[in-house]
Every structure is written in C-alpha cells, then in structure tokens.
Amino acid sequence: MTAPGINAEQVRAFLDGYASAFQRLDKDAVADRYGYPAHVITYDGGVRLLAVPSREAWTAVIERILEMYRAMDVRGAAIRELRVSGVSPQVAVARVRWALHGDGDRPLYEFDATYTLALFDGELRIVQVVSENEQPKFLGVMRARG
C-alpha cells in the first residue's frame, strides 16, 4: 500500500535517480535528495545515530561514502527489492535491497536500507535513512582485497 500522493513508481524513480547520483559520484546531487534536518541510523555491531542538521554537514559525510565506493570500484547500484508503505498522504517508507556491482557487472555485495520519504513542494526527499547492514559488508569486501 502506498500513501495517496506517493506511489511505488514515484519512489522507484526517485531512488533510481539517487543511485545514479552515487554512480556519477555527484555529492551535490546526492545531497539534493535529502530534506534537512535528516536522521541517519547505522548498525555496525551497535546502533549509531546521526542527526544531520544541514546540507553542508551531510555533504561532508557523502564525500566519505563516495570515497568508500571509489575504494571498492563501485560502478553501479540496482534495486533488487522495493517495498513501499504509506504513512500519510505526504510520507512513505521505502524498504530497499540494493545490489552494488563493479566493472563488468561484477557483484560486490547486497545490503538493506529503509528510507522515510516526504513530499516537500511536490518533490520527494529522504528525511531518514536506516542503513541496516552495509558497513559490515563493505568491511568484508575491503578485507578480502587485502
């Protein structure tokens, strides 16, 4: 079920654009997909919370994420699974299984993320992301490379 005003096709198009911004290593385009303040929740052996007060603060974090992707030679990301649930007419939750790949579509790893999306002036923005298991998978890829 999706919220009136937010449908699964709209969410998929938004997230495809988000993935494309990462693929282009375009920190500004990634930052543009967020509403501020935003919240980020990660898990790496324990829950970590990050309040993102502004675009400028988040851009610094995005640069580190892009460096991480460069180090792994990420060439693209694809949505493997997408589930969208409506919260209200202007808020939805999207649960995504992402697949990262390198050169020649070589699989790197899959990870799960949950996004709270909200409509601002008719445009979707991420206001919260829960990165459930990407950090341990990234570390595994880097350890395997030596």
Residue type at 47?
V
pLDDT at res. 3: 41
- Sequence-distant (≥ 6) Cβ neighbours of residue 54 within 8 angstroms: 36, 37
Mean pLDDT of the chain: 92
Output helix, strand, coil percentages for the chain, rounded to the nearest 5.
35, 45, 20
3-state secondary structure of 45: coil
The H or E element spanning position 64 is: helix 55-72
DSSP 103: G
Query: Which two structure tokens, joined as six digits, stand for 75?
Result: 């060439």
Indicate whether 4 pLDDT > 60.
Answer: no
Indicate whether 7 pLDDT > 60.
Answer: yes
Find the mean pLDDT for residues 35-39. Answer: 98
Find the mean pLDDT for residues 37-42. Answer: 96
CA distance linking residue 2 with residue 88, whole number of Å? 9
Indicate whether 32 pLDDT > 70.
Answer: yes
Indicate whether 56 pLDDT > 80.
Answer: yes
**What confidence tier does 27 reach under pLDDT thresholds 50, 70, 90?**
very high
**What confidence tier does 139 reach under pLDDT thresholds 50, 70, 90?**
confident
The domain locations on the chain are 8-141
Statement: 8-141 belongs to CATH 3.10.450.50: yes
DSSP per position, 95-111: EEEEEEE-GGG-EEEEE
pLDDT in tens, 83-130: 999 999 999 999 999 999 998 889 999 999 999 999 999 999 999 999
Residue with tokens 């939805």, as numbered in its chain: 92
